[in-house]
Structure 1
C-alpha cells in the first residue's frame, strides 16, 4: 500500500479507499439520513473555510488584469463546454450514457482554487492574478455551471429547475463562502497559522461527500452500469481532454501575447476543473442517487490526471533561469 500512496498521493489513495468502502459497505436505511445531514454540514464548513482563507489584498492585487481573467473564464466556461459538445457522440459510443454525462458535467465545472494557485506559484507565474481568477471562477461556477449543465446535457437531464438549482447551490456553497470571508478579519490570522491541518479538514469534507454519493450510487446499481473496459476508456478520454485543454490555453496565451508569467497562470487556471466544487454541486443538480456516482467518476479521474501532469509542467517552468 505504501508504494501505491507514493505513486498517486495520499489524497487520491484515501479517496480510492473511500470508493471501495462505499462499494462494500454503502450507507443504507436510517444511516442515509445521518450521512446526508453530515455531508451538508461538511460542505458548508468547506466553503466557509475557503472564504476565510481568501485575502482581500490578493483580490485587489490580481483584479486589474481583466484580459487575463476573461481569457481564463473563456477557457473554463466556453472552451471546455464546446469540447464536451464536440466529443459528446463519441463519448456516448465509447463510455455509455452515464459516463458520457459525467464528462459533460466535468466540462461545465469551474476551475480549481488551491491547486491552480499552488502550481502557478511553483512555476513562478502571475500569482495574484491566479488567486483572483481561480477564486472568481469558483464563485461564478455557482451560477454558470447549472446553465451549462442544462445546455450541454439537455433540459431533461437535470432533476431540478434551473432557478431552484442556483438557489440551492447558492445557499449551500456561496452563503458559507461569503460568511467565511466576512469573518476573515477575526479568523484570518488563525486560518493562516493552521493551514496545514485545515487542509486535512478540506480533504476530509470532500471524501465524506464522495462516500455519501457513491453509497447511494452503489445501492442504485452503479457498478452494474459501468464496466472495466469503460473505466479504461474513461482514463483515455480524460487524458485527451486535458491534453487539448493544455494545448489550446497555451496557444491562446501566445496569440494574445501574454507574458510568460500570465501564460502560466492561464494554463493552470484555465485547464483545470474543481473536484471540491463539482462533488457538492452534483448532489444538488442530480438528486437521483444512482446517477451521481457515474457523474463523479470522470471528475475524480480527471482531477488526478491534471494534478500529475500539472505538477510536471510546474516544476519544469519553475527551474527556468
Structure 2
C-alpha cells in the first residue's frame, strides 16, 4: 500500500462536496447485498438510485443502469434503508411516507438526500479523496444491535431544516415536522477489498456524530474515500393525534425495532466511469457540481420517472395486521 500513500502526498486536496436528492426507485422486500437471490428478503426497504437494482446484482452497476432517480445522471448507485412504520395501539401498522428535503429542488418524489463529502461537511481535510471502484459495496449498522451505533442518528424535526440535536434512538415525543434518520458510513477503506462477506470489515469507522471532522485513517485502512451519508425524512407528523397516551414510542422499523439502535443502511457503488473521481478532484460544492461542472445532471421529472418493476407481490400500504415478512 506504500504507493498509495506516496500518490496521495503528491496530490493537493480540493473542496469538493456533493449533496443531492434521489427520488424513490421502489419500496420492496429485497436486499441484493445482504440477502442476494432471496425474494422476498426478511424485511422491507426503501431504495433509491439506478434501475439496475434487482434481486441479485453483480458486475459494474454503472454500466448496467439506463436511468436513475438521483440528481446526477451518471450515478446508477443504489442506496437503501429500512422502512419506518407507525404501530397503532390496536396493534395494526401503517407505513410512514417519505418526504423530500426542503434544501433540494421541489417536486422530488420521496427518496432521500445523499452526501459525498470530504473530511467533514464544509472542508476536505488534507488528503486526496479516492472514489469507490466498480463492485464496491458496504453496509453501516446492524439490525440486531441493542446499543448506540456511531454516526447513526434520529432527529426530531421542528421543520425540514432542523438538524439538531441528534438522538441515538427514536424520539420520545411527537415531532412537529416529522423524524429524520441519518446514516454516516465509514470513510477509511483497506484499498483492496470490494465487498467482504460481512460487507463491513473492509472499512474502518473514524466518523463522529453529525458532520464533524473524522479522525485519521489507520494503517490497516489507509485509503480515505468520500464521506457517504444519507438523510431520510419521514412524515410522522400525520400520526401525532394517535400518539399513545402512555407516551411510549409508536414507531418501528421494518425489521421490528422500536428502539432504533438497529438502524442500518446499504450502498452499492454504481457511478459511471470516472465521474465520481472527477467530482472529488474538483472544487465544486453541492448544486455547483451540476450541469456538467463537472457532473451531468437531470431535472426532477426525469428523476421521478425512473423505476423498476415490482418483484415482490405483497401489500405494504393501508393498515396492516403485521409487518411485511413478520408473520405471527
Q: Same fold (TM over 0.5)?
A: no
TM range (shorter): under 0.3
Identify, as 1 or 2, the structure richer in helix: 1
TM-score by length of 1: 0.23
Identify, as 1 or 2, the structure richer in strand: 2
TM-score by length of 2: 0.23
Bigger relative contact order (CA 8 A; separation at least 6): 1
